[in-house]
Amino acid sequence: MAILATMTVLMLPAHSATAQGPSEPLVQRIESLEAGQPVQVLGEPLLAREVLRRFYENHGFQEAWSFPGNRRELVEAIRQIANDGLNPEDYHGPLLSELALRARDDLSGEMQADIDLLFSDAFLLAASHLLEGKVNPQTIHAEWSASRQSLDLAVTLAEALRDNTIAATLDSLRPTHRAYAKLMEARNRLTPLLGHPWLPIADGPSIHPGDQDSRLPEIRRRLAALGDITAPGDPETAVADPTLYSQDLDLVIPSFQARHGLEPDGIIGKKTLAAVNLMPVERIRQIDASLERWRWLPQFLGEDYVIVNIAGFGLQLVMDGREALQSRVIVGRPYRQTPVFSDRIRYLVFNPTWTVPRKLMIEDLLPQIMRDPGYLERQGIRVYQGWGSDRQEINPAVIDWPSLSRDNFPYQLVQDPGPLNALGQVKFMFPNPYAVYLHDTPGQYLFGRQERTFSSGCIRVEKPMDLAEQLLAGAPEWSRERIDRLLEEKIPVTAVLPDPIPIYIQYWTAWVDEDQRIQFRDDIYNRDFRLLAQLRQSATGGNQLPTPVVARGFSASGGSDQPKSD
Tens-place pLDDT, residues 464-492: 999 999 999 989 899 999 999 999 999 99
Does one domain contain both 26 and 168?
yes
Are the C-beta atoms of 462 and 444 separated by less than 8 Å?
Answer: yes
Distance separating the N- and C-terminal Cα atoms of the chain = 57
Residue 459 inside a domain? The answer is yes
Interior/surface letters 314-328, b for 16+ CB within 10 angstroms, e for the rest: bbbbbbeeeebbebb
Residue 421 inside a domain? The answer is yes
Output the pTM of the full model: 0.88
Q: Give the pLDDT band (50/70/90) at residue 20.
A: low
Taking residue 235's Cβ as centre, other Cβ atoms within 10 Å add up to 22
Cβ neighbors of 453 (< 8 A, separation 6 or more) are 330, 331, 332, 333, 334, 524
pLDDT given for residue 193 in this prediction = 94
Amino acid at 434: Y
How far apart are the C-alpha atoms of 376 and 159, rounded to whole Å? Answer: 67
Taking residue 223's Cβ as centre, other Cβ atoms within 10 Å add up to 19
How far apart are the C-alpha atoms of 206 and 111, rounded to whole Å? Answer: 65
Residue 372 inside a domain? The answer is yes
How far apart are the C-alpha atoms of 46 and 22, rounded to whole Å? Answer: 20
Give the SS3 label for residue 171. helix
Residue 50 inside a domain? The answer is yes
Interior/surface letters 542-565, b for 16+ CB within 10 angstroms, e for the rest: eeeeeebeeebbbeeeebbbebbe
Last-in-domain residue among 491, 510, 529: 510
Amino acid at 85: G
How far apart are the C-alpha atoms of 12 and 392, rounded to whole Å? Answer: 74
Indicate which residue of 59, 92, 129, 439 is catalytic. Answer: 439
Q: Give the pLDDT band (50/70/90) at residue 458.
A: very high
How far apart are the C-alpha atoms of 366 and 407, rounded to whole Å? Answer: 13
pLDDT given for residue 234 in this prediction = 58
Q: Which helix (H) or strand (E) holds 168?
A: helix 166-173
Last-in-domain residue among 131, 152, 174: 174
Give tens-digit pLDDT for 34-77. 766 778 889 999 999 899 999 999 989 999 998 999 999 999 99
The number of folded domains in the chain is 2
Lowest mean pLDDT among 188-192, 267-271, 358-362, 449-453: 358-362
Are the C-beta atoms of 512 and 254 separated by less than 8 Å?
Answer: no
Q: Give the torsion sign (CA, 264, 268, 270, 276).
A: positive
- 439 counts as catalytic: yes
How buried is residue 8: exposed, middle or buried, by Cβ count under 10 Å (0-12/13-18/19+)?
exposed
Lowest mean pLDDT among 146-160, 267-281, 407-421, 552-566: 552-566
pLDDT given for residue 540 in this prediction = 66
Residue 426 inside a domain? The answer is yes
Higher pLDDT, 5 or 213: 213
Cβ neighbors of 204 (< 8 A, separation 6 or more) are 213, 215
Cβ neighbors of 58 (< 8 A, separation 6 or more) are 8, 11, 154, 155, 158
Higher pLDDT, 105 or 320: 320
How far apart are the C-alpha atoms of 486 and 500, rounded to whole Å? Answer: 22
Give tens-digit pLDDT for 380-423. 999 999 877 788 999 999 999 999 888 898 999 999 998 899 99
Are the C-beta atoms of 282 and 275 separated by less than 8 Å?
Answer: no
pLDDT given for residue 387 in this prediction = 79
How far apart are the C-alpha atoms of 335 and 456, rounded to whole Å? Answer: 8
Indicate which residue of 59, 129, 260, 458 is catalytic. Answer: 458
Q: Give the pLDDT band (50/70/90) at residue 238.
A: low
Residue 271 inside a domain? The answer is no
- 196 counts as catalytic: no
Residue 88 inside a domain? The answer is yes
| β pairing state of 322-332 and 392-394 | unpaired
Mean pLDDT value across residues 486-509? 95
How far apart are the C-alpha atoms of 260 and 275, rounded to whole Å? Answer: 7
Residue 266 inside a domain? The answer is no
Q: φ, ψ for residue 471 (rounded to 5)?
A: -65, -30
Q: Which of 242, 303, 68, 90 is nearest to 164 (CA)?
A: 68
Cβ neighbors of 200 (< 8 A, separation 6 or more) are 277
Last-in-domain residue among 135, 152, 174: 174
Q: Which of 383, 378, 374 is nearest to 409 (CA)?
A: 383
What is the domain extent for residue 166?
Answer: 2-174
